[in-house]
Structure 1
């Protein structure tokens, strides 16, 4: 979006682009993400099952939000659900609160799944560019995954470069906003970092920033230093992939009090 994918590398929860405020990231730092893949023939039944599960949560006073996203590119029979940013301890309480509807989930949703993955995302405000006090509501989000080369050095180099880029974006009042997260407990094939950038529309998503990201970095640090930052990013990355999601109000769960 707006050139965000190309800015890092040869070319990225939740992170929840429907309501995260930058000021919150000091106290709530972990987002949980589930991604479901369904067969085309099961799509209608799957969505009905999610709605039934959400109804069960309402009936039991479940107080946590799960924001639903439909994948618009990539595997378009995929759905992702992201929690609000929470402390690690809050996920213990969430697990207990949701047990009353475990059977509803197994009966109404699971039979229609081809597969499901889950991971935690550690939000990293120091790598992100989100003006303080700015609330995000977004019809679309571009989600980009970064798989780094093996070893501690690549991870440290990538994070250090991303931090410098975020500092440059803040200093120059760069108009593009994005949030970074580090993937946790996602399994062997999970990416190392995730970038989420919001868009109001497809037209907004396709607009290129002015200046471009790397031009902005060079404007702040100088051409030589800017090129060195870009090289350190490219050298750390093994692969990059991205997709676009749309906000799904019908499958989103919010408690009655919200």
Structure 2
């Protein structure tokens, strides 16, 4: 049982709340659930004290209703600055790698199928891929080998996938091919579909986006970052001013108290 400014949060309420807070173990889930209910109660009490929400809104414990109450409180009690043009430009200049278009790579490949949970199949596919790589390094014909061994429809076009950008293939394949230099990748590339023999034919680096094209995105990011920090600070203050029995935020490991 937890008491928040003389209002009781009973154990059944905490147990019911746990379903919304996945955690590695039951104790961690209980702590998250208790913290969520305490904060919701503090927001409710503060909104009632200021007359910002009606009784029906305050009895509704849905996330949407709680967000509405929080927005009303933040609007009334917290001054949140917005990012200036100079601050946006400074962020742009300090983080140029975040504002580059995806590189393009031209790739051909062979897919040797193997189910991700079949170790024997994958070992066999890896052995075949390594044999194909050895043959290619000895002047083997990629197109002919693709026609013979690949199960991808690209085998009818010499294994050619064409130009691809990030996000067009599965992540595990993408991570390997986009970090490779042009040429035959000297090891089989694994994916959920099997083993790939990959030849990167060409790489076209991405372009840096102009500041004007990303200024609004930067402004939104910085404003949201400041807003989240302000909300955390506001909730921290509510917790610090409250009388809470049965739960100690200072010992819970809550990021609010960091």
State TM-score, norm by structure 2.
Answer: 0.22
- Which one has a bigger Cα radius of gyration? 2
- Of structures 1 and 2, the one with the larger relative CO (CA 8 A, separation 6+) is 1
Greater helix proportion: 2
